[in-house]
Amino acid sequence: MGIYDKLSKLEKPKPDQLVKEKKKPTEILAKKKVSKKQSNIVSNITILQFSDDEIEQLRDPAYMPHTFRLTRKNLEWIKDTAYQLSKEVKRGKVSQADILRIAIKLFEDILATNKADLIKILEKIK
């Protein structure tokens, strides 16, 4: 008796056992549209925080070197994020300085709008 004979004698699953619950194409499309719409909204909110003048200031090259004291976790995050974004951005390379300059600009905006909350956070970490 060969392997084929042994396999053919094994109990075959019934067709109704093989059929998995299939989602309707409209359900799948609806989920994709919702998630895409949410990501677009988040992207638009983030982009709208910067005016054209602020974007131009961020485009200016940074020539002044400075050393920051960061935790190992923060440093690794900045390096990894710059690398990942460089792979995704179609124009040039994203540097660690780009990330820090954007973070500084966002911090300036938060300082201007939510200074009291920011002071509370700073007091908690000191």
Number of domains in the chain: 2
Tell me the pLDDT tens digit for each residue of 44-102. Answer: 555 557 777 888 888 888 788 888 899 999 999 999 999 999 999 888 899 999 999 98
CA 21 to chain centre: 32
Do 35 and 93 fall within a single domain? no
pLDDT, residue 113, reads 87
Do 46 and 73 fall within a single domain? no
Residue 6 in tokens: 């042994």
CA distances (Å), origin 21, targets 12, 17, 24: 20, 10, 10
Asked if residue 115 lies in contact with residue 107, where contact means CB atoms within 8 angstroms, the answer is: no
Tell me the pLDDT tens digit for each residue of 7-50. Answer: 566 665 555 555 555 555 555 555 555 555 555 555 555 555 77
- Helices 96-113 and 115-125 sit at what angle, rounded to 10 degrees? 120
Do 79 and 30 fall within a single domain? no
Residue 71 belongs to domain spanning? 61-126
Q: pTM to 2 decimals?
A: 0.56
pLDDT, residue 76, reads 96
Question: Residue 6: in which H helix or E strand, if any?
Answer: helix 3-9
